Amino acid sequence: MAWALVTVVVIGVGLPFAAWRLGRRLEAARPPSSHGLGPPADAVDKWLINQHRLAAPQRWQVRDAVVYGRAVRDPALRHAAHDLAGCALRGELRLGRGIRITGIVVAAEGAALIALGIVLLAAPGSLAGIVPVLVGGWLLARQVMALRMIRHGPRRAYQLNA
């Protein structure tokens, strides 16, 4: 009984203390703010800070426009979007890595659902595979279109933000 009480006290005190220490250590490792513009999240953010001195919300607007091939609504950000799209087309910066990975994973999930539906349809007298085939086909088509749009996004953004 005493060992259980000691275990509870050690976990109850030790776990919060360890979390506090880890939080302090991670806070010290966080990159410093760039003159009030917010810390850079990756190489694209660092490039946008160094080249155009953009704050975090503006960097997200520019990045979103270039990844998805749109025009930036704010005319002051068009030059930054044009430059970022040019760098992406030349291969100096890579955009949308997380979006590409997510798209590939969801497309694989769609293909797996289609395969599951085909296996279920192969069973005699079973129509349970129709729903997985339809959902998998919808996911697969949607992600293929999204990946195609992301692949051509910088070229289109370069033209629209000239």
CA dihedral 101, 105, 110, 115 (to 10 degrees): 140
Residues 107 and 90 in one domain: no
Residues 85 and 46 in one domain: yes
CA distances in angstroms from 2 to 8, 10, 14, 82, 151, listed in the order given: 10, 12, 18, 68, 63
Domain annotation covers residue 159:
no
Q: What domain range includes position 137?
A: 97-152
Q: How many domains does the chain have?
A: 3
Residues 14 and 60 in one domain: no
39: left (phi over 0), alpha (psi -120 to 50) or beta: beta
Q: What is the pLDDT along the chain (162 residues), one digit of tens a residue?
A: 777 777 777 777 777 777 777 777 766 555 555 556 677 678 888 888 889 988 888 988 999 899 889 999 888 899 999 999 999 999 888 887 778 888 888 889 999 999 999 998 888 878 888 999 999 999 999 988 888 888 888 999 999 988
The CA angle 95-99-101, to the nearest 5 degrees, is: 105
Residues 90 and 37 in one domain: yes
pTM of the model: 0.63
